[in-house]
Amino acid sequence: MKEIQSDIVVIGSGIAGAVVAYKLALKGLDVLIIEAGPRIDTEDVRKKFATSPHMHHNAGYPDEVHAPIPTWTKRDTFLAMGSSKLLVPEYLRCVGGTTWHWDGVTHRFSQSDLSLKTTHGVGVDWPLTYEDLSPYYDEAEKELGVAGHSEGESATFPMKPTPASYLENWVHNKLKGSSHALSVCPMARNSKDYDGRSQCQGFSTCSLVCPSKAKYTGVVHVEKAEEKGAHLLANTRVDQIIVGKDQKISHLIARKPDGAPFKIKGNQFILAANALESPRLLLNSATEQHPHGVANSSGYVGRNLMLHPSIIANYVVKEDVFPGRGPNIHFVLDKYRETPSRTSYSGFLIHLLNTFNVYADYHTHFLDKIYPPALDLEIAERYRKKIEFNSCMEMLPNPENILTLNTSEKDSAGVPKMHIKLSYSDYEKRSFIACQSIYQDIGVHLEATRTEISDISTNHSHLMGTLTMGDDSKKSVVDKYGRSHDHPNLFVVGYSLFPTSTPVNPTLTIAALSLRTASEIIKELKI
C-alpha cells in the first residue's frame, strides 16, 4: 500500500483545520492538510447556483460520490433510517469547508457562556475561562478580518462595520427606544480592502456565495498555509484512524475517488472535520483493539450533540423596505442572550436578515393556489415590504442526544450512515415560547400588516458537541487544548469540542480555540 508522511497531519480544511495548519506552517513545520472534497472556484459556484432548481445553501456546491454532502432535498440518502427529524444538516465538503456559505457572524462567547453551570445552575462549565480565550479572540478577529463596533468588547476590531441598508435602518429606527433595540453585529466581512481581499460589494448573497471574496472563508488560511510550505491533498477521504501499540495514532487509511487505499503517516494528527464527520470517522475506526472506536474509552464519542434551534419570523409592513440590498446581516437583538431567565430557559440571539429569499415565497403562494400572472404581482407587492428575523437558541448538552453508525446502511462512498437521536428538553422548549412572544411584540412596533412566526426550524449548520472537552476523562473526549484523553498525539479542533452550545454563532470561537491548540502544540514541540 502506498504511503506518504508528514510531521503534522490535519484532517479537514474548514476554518478550524485551515487556521491551525497556517499557524503551524508559520513555524516551519511540515504540515499536510487532507480534504475529502475538491478545490472549488467562486465563479463556478455562482454559475451553478444560478441554474440550480433548488435554492438551498448547498446549491451550486460539489456533491461528490466519494464525499457526499447533506441537504434537505436528500436527507434520507445521508442519514440512517429512523434518525430524528429535528435535524436536517447542511454542510460542505470542499476546500474551505462550510465557511463558503456562512454569513460571517463573529460574536465572542462571554464568561457566563463558558461557566453556565456556575452562573445559571444548568448545563456544564467549560474547562477554560474567558481569560484563557481572550488573546486568541484578539488573534482570530485580526486573522479573519472582523468589522464591527468595539463597544462591549475587549479588543478593537480591524474594521468599522459596513453601512446598514435601507431596510436595516428602517427597522432600527422603528425599534429604537423600545425593549427590542438593535445593535451592530460583528462580521468577518471587509468594509475596506483588507488582507488582500476586496471591500464588500453588497451582492446580498453572503450566505450562498460571496462573489467579491470580501467575506472570509477558510480558503484564505488554506492558501496562506500553502504559501508557508504546507501541502494540501484535496479529493482525499480519510476512512480510518489506526492506533499503534503505544496508543499513539500510527497512520490513517485514506482513499482518492478511484477507491484505492493508501496510508498517511505523521507525528501529530489533528482532526478538524465538523461535529458529525469527526465522530463518524472515530467510530468508523473501530478495531478489535478499540471495539467502540478511536478516542472513545469514555463512551462519549458522538454524545451531547447540540444545535442552534431557530424560530423564524416574517412580517409584511405598510411601506416598501426593499430587502436584499447589501450584505445579509448588519443588526442583531442581543439582549436575550444573557438574562436571569437563563436559569429556566435558553438564552438566544436574534438576527435581522436582509436577504432576497423569493423562492420561499413562491413555494408558499403555490401552496395557497396562487399562480402566474397573479403570483408575480403578489410576490412583487409583498416582497418589497417583507422583513425577516431568525434566532440562535441555546441547547443544553444531553448524552442521550447521540450520533451512532448504522453499518447496514452506507452512503454513496460506502461509509456507514449516521443515525441521529435528538430531542429538545423543556429548557429549550420554554425558550421557543419566549422568542415567539418577543416576535409578536416586534410585529406591533413594526406596525406589521401580516406576521408569520414558525414553530421551529430543522435545517442546521451550527452542529456542536459530540467530542466535548473536559477535565474528567470519563465524561469527555478531549482536554482543554483539544488533545484526546486516550491518544497523546491526536488533537481535535472545531465545534465538536464545545461542552455547551451558547446562544451565539460559533465560528469565531472555533478559530480562537484552533489557534490556542496550535500554540499548545508549538509550545510542546519547543519551536
The CB density around residue 300, as the number of other CB atoms within 10 Å, is 25
C-alpha cell at 334: 442581543
- Encode pLDDT of 161-176 as tens digits: 999 999 999 999 999 9
Going along the chain from its start, the domains and CATH numbers come out as 3-353+385-525 (3.50.50.60)
Please say if the pLDDT value at position 194 is more than 90. Answer: yes
For the beta carbon of residue 95, count every other beta carbon within 10 angstroms. Answer: 25
pLDDT at 192 over 60: yes
pLDDT above 90 coverage of the chain, percent:
81
C-alpha cell at position 366: 403555490
pLDDT of 57 strictly over 90: no
Length of the chain: 527
How many Cβ atoms are within 10 Å of 362's Cβ, its own excluded?
17
The model's confidence at residue 461, banded by pLDDT at 50, 70 and 90, is confident
- Enter the pTM of the model: 0.95
User: Average pLDDT of 199-228?
Assistant: 92
- pLDDT given at position 364: 58
**134-141 mean pLDDT:** 96
* pLDDT surpassing 70 at residue 365: no
Confidence (pLDDT) at 206: 82
Class of residue 326 by CB neighbours under 10 A (exposed 0-12, middle 13-18, buried 19+):
buried
Rounded Cα distance, 346 and 395, in Å: 7
Q: pLDDT band at 48, cuts 50/70/90? A: confident
Residue 298: the pLDDT is: 98
Q: Give the Cα separation of 364 and 379 in Å (integer).
A: 10
The answer to whether 469 and 497 have CB atoms below 8 angstroms apart is: yes
Quote the mean pLDDT of the chain.
93
Q: How many CA atoms lie within 13 A of 188 on its CB side?
A: 32
Work out the pLDDT band at 324, boundaries 50, 70, 90.
confident
The band of 21, judged by pLDDT with boundaries at 50, 70 and 90, is very high
Grid coordinates representing 464 are 456542536
Question: What confidence tens digit (pLDDT) does each residue in 479-506 have?
Answer: 999 999 999 999 999 999 999 999 999 9
List the grid coordinates of 327: 450584505
- Confidence check: pLDDT of 332 > 80: yes
Per-residue pLDDT, 49: 84
Least confident segment among 148-157, 244-253, 384-393, 437-446: 148-157
